[in-house]
Structure 1
Amino acid sequence: MATFPSLNIPPELLQELSKYTTPTGLADYAALAVLGGLGATYLSKGRLWDRPDPLAYLMYERPQLKNGGQAGSANKETRNIAQKMEETGKNIVVFWGSQSGTAEGFAHRLAREISIRWGQEAMTADLSDYDPVTISEIPIAKLAIFVVSTYGEGDPSDNTAEFWSWISKASDVSLSNLRYAAFGLGNTNYKFYNKVVDVVVEGLDKLGAGALMPVGKANDAEGATEEDFMSWKEDLFAVFKDKLGFQEVEAKYIPSLKVEEDESLEPIDLHHGEPSNRNEAPKAAAQSSAVRTLSISESRELFNSSDRHCLHMDVDLSSQPEMSYKTGDHLAIWPGNPDVEVERLLDVLGISSRRDIPLIIKALDPATKITIPTPTSAIAIFRYYLEICAPVNRDTIRDLAQFAPTPDAKAYLLRLGQDKDTYANFITCTHINLGRLLQLACPEKVWDSIPLSYLVETLSHIRPRFYSISSSSVVSPRKPSITAIVSTTSLPDNPDELIHGVTSNYLLAISQQARSQQHPSGITYHLNGPSDALQGGKVFAHIRRSKFKLPALGKTPLIMVAAGTGIAPFRAFISERCQVLKIGKEVGPMILFFGCRSPEEDYIYRDELEEMQTALGGRLRIVTAFSRQHGTPRRYVQDRVGELEDDVVRMIDEGSNFYLCGRAGMAREVEKVVGKTMMKVKGWSETEVNAWSKTIKKKNKWQEDVWG
């Protein structure tokens, strides 16, 4: 403990000083409070209130929404996967690591097919639910299968993070008893294609695990993920038969869930569609706020086009004091399915009249997790919990044949599901979600033999869609905004057949309702939400933290490259820089490269950008690239970056941060151009460029917020 020498101040002097240091009125106490607050802010560096209480959401949650509403969920599950397999009698585990839900869906499909087609007891396992080291305890008589996705700069999904860290560093563990197979989901538009599965396989092999077959990989850039998975799956099943001696049995649906009606329950007991993200992997949960109902305070169109729509929406956080955001974060919107598809599915299943009957979902298999809140109802399941608008894959089409109401319908589904070319040709002219498929296969009868449990197990669950926040938390702290392009595409061989993106068209319907207008395509949604929770133009949403951030120093130069709605976070960045300049702080030079079709149609935020450019007094340069401007050749942002190579290199040398936002293919092309520019201007080799690239990314001087 530190000690201090006596100052030997005379008592008389201390008494005199106390007259001036003791508060004597309200003004003195107020001044002390302000000084104390300023001191606390300085000493804490903002930690006291810059970060919300991580447990604050508990005050706002309905207890019945937790853990899917299941009784007994308080019993702590084991985190030892070998023990779990032993307790549940499983001899094959399919681990999954998924960000968007695709890998998770593949894992569930694979485990179910292993069970019904090969008679093997299989389970799925979220990688974040188990301690990674416990895979070393899986005995040699059992198998492990890994289905993992890669996104961004070779990053693992949130629920893979703990396993990723362990497999990358473990050295004193033996996996000599582990037999495994692995499949990765990736996209060649990203620089590190399928890096996660490569790292996982390398780590498993290093620790002595034995691979049953070569690693499988899917490439979403070619739209081949589904077929890549099915091809690899058949190779895996050939290994089952030829190497492991498994006997194939007649495929027949064996439910792992039970969905039954319980009319003794009252509406107040049910989950009517309220979403929750509190069961996410720990990493994802730590980065996200809880889901709340938020009002849309303003919505406006950004495109000057009759057939294309882009929305700017301001969302109001005033009613949710525990929610906050920072510039560069994402807003997640939880959509509802369109009425036409909900009604179509209820009708074709023959349960339209029983849509509101209370349903209880129970696990028949102890290894099965119930992820839909229970009790609930059919209308809630189809409107808010299942992705009923997504295309139906060949595996599911083939499985549905066993429930066909007529021999002709069964033959139709088998022909479509078993032949790759027939399926491929069909989907180029017809959008086949589940309801449409069943209507096409047998329009004259209802499919009342399809168990609801099958649909709950088979269809993907609705997930939120993430939008880059296009406002600055400094300028607009309680009203984050998003920029959403409305997705409507036509089929290659049938231009009249339109496919409407679920969430963006849901937002368009809300925007049109505020103007007392209909959706341009006549699509309707239950916009009031479950139990009228969204009445008055509200949405279910949550904030997700992002690493896509401005540098701490306002004088740091910025190079920003965006295409389309990728401009959203840069609108926020530039707005914040304007505010920094307004209060007298130094602001560094900036270049914004922005690409769209034409200046007349979709140059969004043009007036705002030009106003901010004027306010910044020459500190912002806007460089445009138009791909469909009449009378001029197509130009893309990567072309403009190459044209201004000297300026780009100079700013990089001056310490500029480099940002990219938009599609992954665009980001890849821009990075190629920058790499070639550095080689040309600086005389570097490709090895030197790669080393430089790794260094600046590690320092967060190069950041990307990309998709697709």
Structure 2
Amino acid sequence: MSTFPQFNIPPELLQELSKYATPTGLADYAALAVLGGVGATYLSRGLLWDKPDPYHHLWFERPQLKNGGQLRSANKETRNIAQKLEEAGKNVVVFWGSQSGTAEGFAHRLAREISIRWGQDAMTADLSDYDPVTISEIPNAKLAIFVVSTYGEGDPSDNTAEFWSWISKATDVSLSNLRYAAFGLGNTNYKFYNRVVDVVVEGLDKFGAQALMPVGKANDAEGATEEDFMSWKEDLFKIFKDKLGFEEAEAKYIPSLKVEEDESLEPIDLHHGEPNSRIEAPKAAAQSSAVRTLSISESRELFTASDRHCLHMDIDLSSQPELGYKTGDHLAIWPGNPDIEVERLLDVLGISSRRDIPLGIKALDAAEKITIPTPTSSIALFRYYLEICAPVNRDNVRDLAQFAPTPEAKAYLLNLGQDKETYASFINRTHINLGRLLQLACPNKPWSNLPLSYLVETIPHIKPRFYSISSSSVVSPRKPSITAIVSTSPLPDNPNELIHGVTSNYLLAISQQARSQPHPGGITYHLNGPGDALEGGKVFAHIRRSKFKLPLTGKTPLVMVAAGTGLAPFRAFLSERCQVLKIGKEVGPMILFFGCRNPNEDYIYREELEEMQQALGERLQIVTAFSRLEGSPRQYVQDRVAEFGEDVVKLLDEGGNFYVCGRAGMAREVEKAVGLTMKDVKGWNDDEVNNWSKAIKKKNKWQEDVWG
């Protein structure tokens, strides 16, 4: 039965209305056609047009769930840090905010040493795992320590975002019960050196928190981060002893993890090296895709010098329809460790013959988070999950002495680890990793007393390396490309021995394999990957969203400054601008500043740039700087920016965007050069330049993609 209301309309009225409802001319029919089209278009939305991306949810997917993992929220763990401390029976919490993993590593080291050396039960806490306001509930009897990094233009790490927002904006908060210490990681090559820890401490103090000691700061500009941390840590421990009355005990390893063999498991049950791509912060989850197996469709050498290498690689997304990228995004590569270092560590530990035996990893401490997929094996640990090529920090050198197979090896490590100057001299000469150190300290006996749990707890875990995508998503939507310089540097005291960057040399080995040639340095890798998943020239990779973007309109002027492989995103920008011009749209004026050593050796993409310049005509000006051109004085991009300063200012005054990509030190010098030009051209003072700089960055008209 119909549920619509019934109306009794007189026949005479219907007849009269029909006169007006009947089309009488061409205009009426046209109007009806338009209205009908609009209606049909609206009704077909989501069916024929504006269809939702069926894979959109995968950008927000936490990949670890695919392998039977569980999110912390799925375990219904509390987000109240005070409650967590009480439940776990902890007296100290070390909060960490980390982008690259260094601050996270420091936090774990510190918590472990506080527990072992000072008898205070300590735990680490990812800042994104707890509601910031619950910090106010931590009682005065407990301690909070913050270890946070700064990157980019004074930005917090992804997992610090929620806490950063709260500490910056909260009102009516009391932290009068909170006793804390703080340590920041930064780099003076960046303009806003250690801004994040400064803001955190300012907020804590504003709300009445009690600082145990002055804030500590690490400066990575000269590689001093490790020693800066250790120096601050010793000052903290003096506070523990002198002010808090903690009693120091002999430092002896107490495992928080259990790593044991379990031969009942089958190979199919194991994680053989697939990346652990857990993304903990919501902000990070929104910025990164899931890790996928992607093919390298093409690879070519960009340098002409035989002793240096720079790779251009095209990555094929066709097998993964849910993946996509936008111009300016980053592509992350998950590397494997070289065979020689994997075999060295297996041999020195005396477990080479048991490399494939299944290993189970279990937490002995309720507050400990297992971040390596389990069950696994020793070969997978050393090949794919642990950074075994990294130099051994001084804390670990000293701690390793307790596991030494001989008194001589123990004395050697204690001498090396207890003296700052001795260690610094040694590490600068050798850049020694764990396997080499153990081999050197005791060459004739295996380190059978060194438990795998110690290595899993103390060696940094492998993280992906990010590369700026050097292709345009408009021109090449299914084949993003990356540009990777292969890192190989000689030891200061032994030029014949080289330090090989892990990921770039891994990529070089893949490139050489495609040509049926060995790696130039003789390094080999297990390129087929776990379970032969990477056979045929594939990599584990994912895409990360970036804010380093072209303006919405092609008419906006651009100033682009790059050195070396910093040219990568600008190749993409110019390629897109050429395409915009090709389809008949207007393109604004552009200047590209590019610096390298020598035009005959490392001027990457030179022919392509010349072709794009020809296509764009007067719209593009390319200005080069060569630092090692024989017979000519050294020039750097900042010098050329100053030389063409008036042209730069003109484009900025016309609403142009300014981009810098390369090393942080270069970016800082470029900003100085632009500031000096502003003073000369506009007659500004320092305050006016600073105010202009803040304003243009706030509007995203000045963007940087920098490192180191």
Say yes or no: TM over 0.5.
yes
Q: Superposed, which structure 2 residues align to 1:50-69 within 5 Å?
A: 53-55=56-58, 63-64=66-67, 66-67=69-70
Once the 2 structures are TM-superposed, how far is the Cα of residue 13 of structure 1 from its aligned partner? 3.5
- Alpha-carbon separation, structure 2, partners of 1:61 and 1:90: 28
Q: 3-state DSSP class of the match of 2:181?
A: strand
How big is each residue's C-alpha offset from its partner over 1:236-285, in whole Å with a ceiling of 9 and x where there is no partner? 00000000000000111000000111111111111111113233321111
- Alpha-carbon separation, structure 2, partners of 1:454 and 1:59: 28
1:643 lines up with 2:646 in the alignment = no
Give yes or no for contact 2:577–2:587 (8 Å, CA) kept in 1. Answer: yes
How big is each residue's C-alpha offset from its partner over 1:613-657, in whole Å with a ceiling of 9 and x where there is no partner? 000121100000000001000000000011111111111111110
How big is each residue's C-alpha offset from its partner over 1:430-470, in whole Å with a ceiling of 9 and x where there is no partner? 12100000000000000011111110000000000000000
Q: Superposed, which structure 2 residues align to 1:251-650 within 5 Å?
A: 251-650=251-650
**RMSD between aligned alpha carbons?**
2.6
Amino acid at match of 2:468: S
Amino acid at match of 2:490: S
Give yes or no for contact 2:557–2:654 (8 Å, CA) kept in 1. Answer: yes
Give yes or no for contact 2:128–2:280 (8 Å, CA) kept in 1. Answer: no
Give yes or no for contact 2:623–2:640 (8 Å, CA) kept in 1. Answer: yes
Q: 3-state DSSP class of the match of 2:618?
A: coil
Amino acid at match of 1:13: T
Once the 2 structures are TM-superposed, how far is the Cα of residue 38 of structure 1 from its aligned partner? 13
Change (3 A) 1:293 1:150: same
Change (3 A) 1:12 1:67: closer
Once the 2 structures are TM-superposed, how far is the Cα of residue 67 of structure 1 from its aligned partner? 3.9
Give yes or no for contact 2:62–2:278 (8 Å, CA) kept in 1. Answer: no
- Alpha-carbon separation, structure 1, partners of 2:18 and 2:63: 55
- Alpha-carbon separation, structure 1, partners of 2:65 and 2:97: 29
Amino acid at match of 1:478: R
Change (3 A) 1:231 1:57: closer
Amino acid at match of 2:621: R
Q: Superposed, which structure 2 residues align to 1:151-162 within 5 Å?
A: 151-162=151-162
Once the 2 structures are TM-superposed, how far is the Cα of residue 57 of structure 1 from its aligned partner? 7.3
Q: 3-state DSSP class of the match of 2:622?
A: strand
- Alpha-carbon separation, structure 1, partners of 2:118 and 2:327: 51
Q: Superposed, which structure 2 residues align to 1:690-705 within 5 Å?
A: 690-705=690-705
How big is each residue's C-alpha offset from its partner over 1:372-426, in whole Å with a ceiling of 9 and x where there is no partner? 0111111111111110000000000000000000000000000000001111111
Structure 1 unaligned segments of length 5 or more: list them. Answer: 1-5, 22-30
- Alpha-carbon separation, structure 2, partners of 1:478 and 1:313: 13
Give yes or no for contact 1:308–1:486 (8 Å, CA) kept in 2. Answer: yes
Identity %, equivalent residues: 81
Change (3 A) 1:600 1:86: same
Once the 2 structures are TM-superposed, how far is the Cα of residue 36 of structure 1 from its aligned partner? 4.2
The residue number in structure 1 matching 2:118 is 118
Change (3 A) 1:40 1:703: farther
Q: 3-state DSSP class of the match of 1:600?
A: coil
How big is each residue's C-alpha offset from its partner over 1:571-625, in whole Å with a ceiling of 9 and x where there is no partner? 0000000000000000000000000001000000000000000001211000000
Give yes or no for contact 1:67–1:373 (8 Å, CA) kept in 2. Answer: no
Q: 3-state DSSP class of the match of 1:173?
A: coil
- Alpha-carbon separation, structure 1, partners of 2:21 and 2:177: 83
- Alpha-carbon separation, structure 1, partners of 2:688 and 2:51: 39
Q: 3-state DSSP class of the match of 2:599?
A: coil
- Alpha-carbon separation, structure 2, partners of 1:641 and 1:621: 12
Once the 2 structures are TM-superposed, how far is the Cα of residue 55 of structure 1 from its aligned partner? 4.0
- Alpha-carbon separation, structure 1, partners of 2:42 and 2:432: 60
The residue number in structure 1 matching 2:22 is 13
Q: 3-state DSSP class of the match of 1:295?
A: strand
- Alpha-carbon separation, structure 1, partners of 2:19 and 2:316: 60
Give yes or no for contact 1:277–1:285 (8 Å, CA) kept in 2. Answer: no
- Alpha-carbon separation, structure 1, partners of 2:296 and 2:612: 25
Q: 3-state DSSP class of the match of 1:66?
A: coil
Change (3 A) 1:20 1:150: same
- Alpha-carbon separation, structure 2, partners of 1:658 and 1:562: 11
Q: 3-state DSSP class of the match of 2:429?
A: coil
Q: Superposed, which structure 2 residues align to 1:6-45 within 5 Å?
A: 8=17, 10=19, 13=22, 36=41
Q: 3-state DSSP class of the match of 2:432?
A: coil
Give yes or no for contact 2:58–2:322 (8 Å, CA) kept in 1. Answer: no
Using the size of structure 2 for normalisation, the TM-score is 0.94
- Alpha-carbon separation, structure 2, partners of 1:15 and 1:345: 90
- Alpha-carbon separation, structure 2, partners of 1:40 and 1:635: 57
Once the 2 structures are TM-superposed, how far is the Cα of residue 222 of structure 1 from its aligned partner? 1.4
- Alpha-carbon separation, structure 2, partners of 1:215 and 1:59: 35
Give yes or no for contact 2:558–2:658 (8 Å, CA) kept in 1. Answer: yes
- Alpha-carbon separation, structure 2, partners of 1:601 and 1:616: 26
- Alpha-carbon separation, structure 1, partners of 2:202 and 2:175: 12
- Alpha-carbon separation, structure 2, partners of 1:702 and 1:523: 41
Q: 3-state DSSP class of the match of 1:405?
A: coil
Give yes or no for contact 2:59–2:286 (8 Å, CA) kept in 1. Answer: no
Change (3 A) 1:60 1:186: closer
Amino acid at match of 2:95: F
Amino acid at match of 1:635: Q
Change (3 A) 1:32 1:296: farther
Give yes or no for contact 2:63–2:291 (8 Å, CA) kept in 1. Answer: no
Once the 2 structures are TM-superposed, how far is the Cα of residue 490 of structure 1 from its aligned partner? 1.1
Amino acid at match of 1:79: R
- Alpha-carbon separation, structure 1, partners of 2:664 and 2:353: 46
- Alpha-carbon separation, structure 2, partners of 1:216 and 1:385: 30
The residue number in structure 2 matching 1:133 is 133
The residue number in structure 1 matching 2:5 is none
Change (3 A) 1:8 1:434: farther
Give yes or no for contact 2:625–2:640 (8 Å, CA) kept in 1. Answer: yes
The residue number in structure 2 matching 1:28 is none
The residue number in structure 2 matching 1:24 is none
- Alpha-carbon separation, structure 1, partners of 2:150 and 2:60: 30
- Alpha-carbon separation, structure 2, partners of 1:624 and 1:398: 49
Change (3 A) 1:20 1:246: same
Q: 3-state DSSP class of the match of 2:252?
A: coil
Change (3 A) 1:700 1:490: same
- Alpha-carbon separation, structure 2, partners of 1:176 and 1:97: 23
Give yes or no for contact 1:431–1:497 (8 Å, CA) kept in 2. Answer: no
Give yes or no for contact 1:334–1:465 (8 Å, CA) kept in 2. Answer: yes
Give yes or no for contact 1:176–1:208 (8 Å, CA) kept in 2. Answer: yes
Change (3 A) 1:633 1:37: farther
- Alpha-carbon separation, structure 1, partners of 2:18 and 2:468: 61
Amino acid at match of 1:287: Q
Q: 3-state DSSP class of the match of 2:22?
A: helix
Change (3 A) 1:182 1:678: same
Once the 2 structures are TM-superposed, how far is the Cα of residue 344 of structure 1 from its aligned partner? 0.5
How big is each residue's C-alpha offset from its partner over 1:205-236, in whole Å with a ceiling of 9 and x where there is no partner? 00000000000000000110000000000000
Amino acid at match of 2:22: L
How big is each residue's C-alpha offset from its partner over 1:148-180, in whole Å with a ceiling of 9 and x where there is no partner? 000000000000010011011112110000000
How big is each residue's C-alpha offset from its partner over 1:673-703, in whole Å with a ceiling of 9 and x where there is no partner? 1001101110011101111011110111000
Give yes or no for contact 1:65–1:276 (8 Å, CA) kept in 2. Answer: no
Aligned residues: 691
Change (3 A) 1:233 1:40: same
- Alpha-carbon separation, structure 1, partners of 2:426 and 2:81: 42
Change (3 A) 1:60 1:251: closer
Give yes or no for contact 1:57–1:322 (8 Å, CA) kept in 2. Answer: no
